[in-house]
A = this chain, B = another copy of it.
Amino acid sequence: MELERGKGLTLWRQIQKNLEQDILDGTFPPGEKLPPERLLAERFAVNRHTLRQALNNLVRKELVRAEQGRGYFVREDMVRYALAHRVRFRENLSRQHREAAEELLDWELVQAERRTAEHLMVHPGTPLVRMRTVGKADGLSLCVSSHYFSQQRFPDINLIYGNTGSITATFRHFGITDYTRMQTLITARMPNAAEARLLQQSRSKPVLELESVNVDGAGTPIEYGRCIWAADRVQFIVDT
């Protein structure tokens, strides 16, 4: 790594170009940690500030991201997740050539609380199946969700989902060939310990919480879901 001093291009620009090249040609693949500042500064034989100037520019250009106490990481593009009339986890991911996976964490029989009942348009106390799942993209946890279904309409839904590993396929099993999303509520907050663990992310990074209701062809609510998304791994797209 020899830099030309005093020949037109500044040192930090040469370093930036050098690192950009390494990122683009895959020497540092997406998600990879760069060597620490100290090492890079040594390698380029410059002061740490000079090196930081180059890195800061790469951060500004969104090629890398900096994490205090951890290091610099090559940015992997966020998953772009479309919130349209039809929302399908697998479709959304396969459009971006990512491998989608849904896993059943656990399930439970519960009674509908006021809020959940309102969304599903049932009486409070109605028996519901709550399934907790985790959604992954290319093996990386993307979201943890709680799905609520009427037990009467979808008996043993947990078994079906456990076999298929897909909400869409599960609904198909119950004769629902198409379903659409009625409404989505979006908020952001900090995760609790369990959420951070399930998402394999730091507790100091925010999560996005989406509440949604899916309805069948007749407009009857069939699923109420609360999904917690790792905020730095996803970007939602609303087309209106």
Contact indicator B240/A187 (Cβ below 8 Å): no
Knowing A85-B240, A238-B83, A240-B181, the reply to whether A78 touches B186 (Cβ < 8 A) is: no
Copies of this chain in its oligomeric complex: 2
Smallest beta-carbon distance A213→chain B, Å: 10
Contact indicator A84/B206 (Cβ below 8 Å): no
Q: Which residues of B contact A237 (CB under 8 A)?
A: 183-186
Contact indicator A240/B188 (Cβ below 8 Å): no
| Cα–Cα, bound, A181→B205 (Å) | 29
Q: Which residues of B contact A238 (CB under 8 A)?
A: 83, 183-186, 238
Contacting A205 at CB < 8 Å: which of B78, B190, B235? Answer: B190
Smallest beta-carbon distance A230→chain B, Å: 10
Interface membership of A143, Cβ < 8 A: no
Knowing A183-B239, A184-B237, the reply to whether A189 touches B84 (Cβ < 8 A) is: no
Enumerate chain A interface residues (CB-CB to B < 8 A). 78, 80, 83-85, 87, 180-190, 204-208, 231-232, 234-240
